[in-house]
Amino acid sequence: MMRILVVSTPIGRLGSGRGGGVELTLTSLVAGLLERGHQLTVLAGEGSLLAPACAAAQLWTCPGVDQPSWQHQNRDAAITIPADGLLPRLWRRALAEQQHFDCLLNLAYDWLPLWLTPQCQVPLFHLVSMGSVAAGIDAAITEVAQWNQGRLAFHSHVQAADFALAAPPRVVGNGFDLAAYQFCAEPEPLLGWVGRIAPEKGLEDAAAVAAQLGQRLAIWGLVEDPAYAAAVEASVPAGCLDWRGFLPTAQLQAELGRCRVLINTPKWNEAYGNVVVEAMACGVPVVAYRRGGPGELIEPGFNGLLVPADDVGALAAAVVESTSIDRRSCRRWAETHASRAGFAERIEAWLMADLTKDGPDGEFGGGR
């Protein structure tokens, strides 16, 4: 049994959707590790709520101003921390309490926790949630990798390949509570798209496909960039897009399952793509660009189709072709590759590999 302190994202409170896929990842990771008999404490922004599956975990919260998201800054931007920032408050608490834990597990894609790694008395691990978006973070990840790469894990190989690492990466994928996603055998003539409504998600390409095919596109997700959402709406005929808002998982999966296909159009090196697997768990095939995590999750012809990045014509053709995919194989793929139990096992194996290794770093509590 390990006592693990999980430190959440410094963007938004858990349950708000502002943390993107990290929120669901945290739920899966905590619930999965609890099931394996570990003791979990979650440290997150004020107002955070833990999912019922994490009820046995302790929740500590801190007030503070959100970090600006790295996705929306220049690659060479300086490291900034706002006055009254949440990030340093989370880490002040984590450092003050570290002796009560066997390890700390950071889910924030940010400089401060990476930089703190060799300074911590208790082993500090990082599940890196994005590919390369900023030079300052790249350098911090490389420094940790050179010091002890055992402290780093990634969601996909293509994400990890963005960074200069010292050794082959530890790739843990992701995991989902598949019992929460209902298989839907009979879809409606509806296209689906799920994600934060922000330019790096490429919603405009899915909208163009819907307009070209004359089919309705249902859209779920938090509007992060209202001007961008308005521009996408204006780019297609009225009534083509059906904006459904940001829904909790139970409702999202019930609606998403009715789609014939999910269109996934990342414009960046998406680390994993939670929504890709969530769709598959409902039996919905996924048509995506061959880019980032989705390129690794989709087995063309089995659970979806891949097309060259940014090729809207090929995307439309693949959406038409996707009717031939067996919805049951999509669900099967999720069960085989992305269960919560499997994810928790992989996370545990990663932590244990470093915590039990020989040398000055070995055994619980070792620093370096």
Task: Give the interface with ligand UDP as residue ranges (CB under 6 A).
Answer: 17, 20-21, 24, 194-196, 220-221, 246-247, 249, 252, 272-275, 278
* In the complex, least distance from residue 260 CB atom to ligand UDP, rounded to whole angstroms: 18
What count of Cα atoms within 13 Å lies in the side-chain half-sphere of residue 278?
Answer: 26
* In the complex, least distance from residue 79 CB atom to ligand UDP, rounded to whole angstroms: 21
d(CA 91, CA 89): 5
Residue nearer to ligand UDP on the CB measure, 194 or 316: 194
Residue nearer to ligand UDP on the CB measure, 7 or 130: 130
Q: What are phi and psi of 238, to 5 degrees?
A: -55, 140
**Which amino acid belongs to residue 214?**
G
Give residue for tokens 């829904």: 247
Instruction: Answer whether 31's CB lies under 8 Å from 52's CB.
Output: no
> What tokens appear for 253 in the block?
């999966």
Residue nearer to ligand UDP on the CB measure, 71 or 117: 71
Residue nearer to ligand UDP on the CB measure, 18 or 151: 18
Q: State how far the alpha carbon of 336 is from the alpha carbons of 122, 135, 339, in Å.
A: 34, 36, 7
Question: How many Å is the maximal CA-CA distance in the chain?
Answer: 65
* In the complex, least distance from residue 273 CB atom to ligand UDP, rounded to whole angstroms: 5
Residue nearer to ligand UDP on the CB measure, 244 or 332: 244
Residue nearer to ligand UDP on the CB measure, 24 or 107: 24
How long a stretch of residues is the chain? 368
* In the complex, least distance from residue 126 CB atom to ligand UDP, rounded to whole angstroms: 16
* In the complex, least distance from residue 278 CB atom to ligand UDP, rounded to whole angstroms: 6
Residue nearer to ligand UDP on the CB measure, 95 or 254: 254
Query: What is the rounded radius of gyration, in angstroms, for the C-alpha atoms of the chain?
Result: 20
**Which amino acid belongs to residue 291?**
R
Residue nearer to ligand UDP on the CB measure, 90 or 277: 277
Strand-pair partners of 6: 42, 105
* In the complex, least distance from residue 125 CB atom to ligand UDP, rounded to whole angstroms: 19
Starting at the earlier edge strand, list the strands of the sheet with 241-245: 241-245, 217-220, 191-194, 261-264, 286-289, 304-307
In sequence order, which ranges of 180-307 are alpha helices (DSSP H)?
203-213, 226-234, 249-256, 274-281, 292-297
d(CA 118, CA 57): 27
Residue nearer to ligand UDP on the CB measure, 17 or 88: 17
* In the complex, least distance from residue 18 CB atom to ligand UDP, rounded to whole angstroms: 9
| 326: three-class secondary structure by DSSP | coil
* In the complex, least distance from residue 335 CB atom to ligand UDP, rounded to whole angstroms: 18
d(CA 121, CA 88): 17
d(CA 265, CA 352): 36
* In the complex, least distance from residue 107 CB atom to ligand UDP, rounded to whole angstroms: 11
**Which amino acid belongs to residue 213?**
L
* In the complex, least distance from residue 24 CB atom to ligand UDP, rounded to whole angstroms: 4
Residue nearer to ligand UDP on the CB measure, 98 or 174: 174
> What tokens appear for 182 in the block?
């209902």
